Structure 1
Amino acid sequence: MTVTSTSSMFAAVARHFENPRTAETVQLTAVADNMTPVRLTPAQARGALYAPGHDPALVAPIWDQVVRAAAAEHGPSDPWRLLLIWLALPRLTGTAFRVCRRLRADRADVEAEMVLALLEGLRSEEQPSAASVDALLKTARSRAWRLARAGAREFADDTLERLSDGRTLPYHEPQNTEQVRPLQVEVTRHEGTDGLGAQLRFTVSPESVGRQVLTALAETAERKGAVCRTREMGHGRRVTADSRRRGRGRR
């Protein structure tokens, strides 16, 4: 399991209900069929939903009261929406973990998207009830996957900037701009490297990066399991990094 970040929304909600004073401000009254009304604290309500040996007859009444009360709230200090999120966490945490592990998404962003989807779905329900819970949670999980997949399509790489900032480049006389040609850098990740294996391409001007920076980039690629080579292509230089596996296949 991953360590929960201090910016985690799930963790913030959990800390809120760990406070003993919370039990004094929020009380549920669950009324099952042909049963005496049962008053529950938030912790008791969560235990009635998820604890081993819980009473299935209390599940629907608990969700029904929480969902209806949360939908009727309008002020920021009302506690029922927080209670809805807290009771839903056991059914959302596993999805958040899988999304972050598979798509390398930010945990705080994923959790915030799930909570937002849950509250937006609650607001769109005309007659919220216990029967709405499954659909609300399904929507929240789907939104988390969509957010992570959208972020995985494009990502920024600051390798060149970090290499340039970390090295002191010598002063060079200004060159004739007609003789300066852009560089195209292509990096193919090693097949055995963890994480995304997408091919990376950069087009940089010689004014922004010098020979020492490109040399450092080649050294970095060597340490990560890639073989770098330079060749002339058309009107510009092309620096490529091919995997050792590909190189062995050509020999």
Structure 2
Amino acid sequence: MIRTDPAGAFSLIEGALRREPVGAPLLLVVSVGHRSLRLSPEECRDALYGPLRDEGLRAVIWRQAVAEARQEPPGGAGTGRLLVVWLAIPGLYRNLRRILCQLRVERADLEAEAVLAVLAALDTTHPDSPDLGGHMIKEAVNRMWSYAGRVRREVPVVDVAGLADARCVTARRGEPQQPTDEWELHPTPPPRRDGLSATLRFTDSRTRREGERIGALAHCAGLPDLVFRARRHEDSELVGTLALSPLGARR
């Protein structure tokens, strides 16, 4: 038998079942022939999975546990449904171990799927059905394998939007956020009162045609009225530079 994950559903059920009011231990009363037995949860488990199993007592325990659980009001604070799930848990360990060894899946998710399957079977199975406990355990096992098969076919992907947002954050902490679709101009030397010191020029590789691309760049930068022409001025003297950067970015 494998350990119980302290963060899983099985441990939570174990803890909830053991938090009993003082002086009022949880007992399951079953009738075997002319005898009436008062069994604790541990004694019920021993009767179901111990080396000296009694098939007649086993069937009576499952039938009585399911009948009491189904009598609880929906959403109530009773322990009947918890007891049924707790009694089914040992029957799940073998397949739980196999799935964890063969497939990459979170144990906590498998435990949650198994609990949901037992509760679903509890609501749909009649207490007088033959092999009641085996049926609920089989439903839980099938649901665990089905979930593991779905997870195996899933392909993890990067959160592209989140990654892009993280890489595009350029503003320092404490600075107000600026729109990312605007630009700042940093001409050197700075403009005079009557305007810039010279005509703005955008240069590009000699091997590419410049007109359309440079014109589009100037339009996107909001400078259609400042750009004199979109071609190289190879013979003119360099009088300064102009740096474009997103608004709010570090310089």
The TM-score range, normalised by the shorter chain, is: 0.5 to 0.7
- What residue identity is the alignment partner of 1:120? A
CA contact (8 A) 2:28 2:38 kept: yes
Between Structure 1 and Structure 2, which shows a larger proportion of helix residues? 1
Which residue matches 1:50? 49
CA contact (8 A) 2:62 2:132 kept: no
Which residue matches 2:222? none
User: How far apart are 1:158 and its partner, in Å?
Assistant: 4.5
Q: State the alpha-carbon separation in 1 of the partners of residues 69 and 107 from structure 2.
A: 25
Unpaired runs of 5+ residues, structure 1, are 168-174, 180-251
User: How far apart are 1:13 and its partner, in Å?
Assistant: 1.5
Over aligned residues, Cα RMSD in angstroms? 3.5
Which residue matches 1:67? 66
Out of 132-141 and 78-87, give the one that drifted further.
132-141
Q: State the alpha-carbon separation in 1 of the partners of residues 148 and 62 from structure 2.
A: 29
CA contact (8 A) 2:27 2:41 kept: yes
Residue 27 and residue 96 in structure 1: after superposition, are their counterparts in 2 closer, same or farther (change >3 A)?
Answer: same
Residue 20 and residue 12 in structure 1: after superposition, are their counterparts in 2 closer, same or farther (change >3 A)?
Answer: same
User: How far apart are 1:53 and its partner, in Å?
Assistant: 2.4
Residue 33 and residue 72 in structure 1: after superposition, are their counterparts in 2 closer, same or farther (change >3 A)?
Answer: same
Residue 23 and residue 97 in structure 1: after superposition, are their counterparts in 2 closer, same or farther (change >3 A)?
Answer: farther
Higher Rg of the two aligned structures: 2
Unpaired runs of 5+ residues, structure 2, are 168-203, 209-251
Secondary structure in 1 matching 2:29: strand
User: How far apart are 1:26 and its partner, in Å?
Assistant: 2.1
Residue 80 and residue 23 in structure 1: after superposition, are their counterparts in 2 closer, same or farther (change >3 A)?
Answer: farther
Correspondence 1:40 to 2:39? yes
How does 1:1-251 map onto structure 2 within 5 Å?
A: 4-19=4-19, 21=21, 24-34=24-34, 36-74=35-73, 75-127=75-127, 129=129, 131-158=131-158
| Number of equivalent positions | 169
User: How far apart are 1:70 and its partner, in Å?
Assistant: 1.4
Residue 22 and residue 101 in structure 1: after superposition, are their counterparts in 2 closer, same or farther (change >3 A)?
Answer: farther
Secondary structure in 2 matching 1:78: coil
Secondary structure in 1 matching 2:32: coil
Q: State the alpha-carbon separation in 1 of the partners of residues 23 and 61 from structure 2.
A: 16
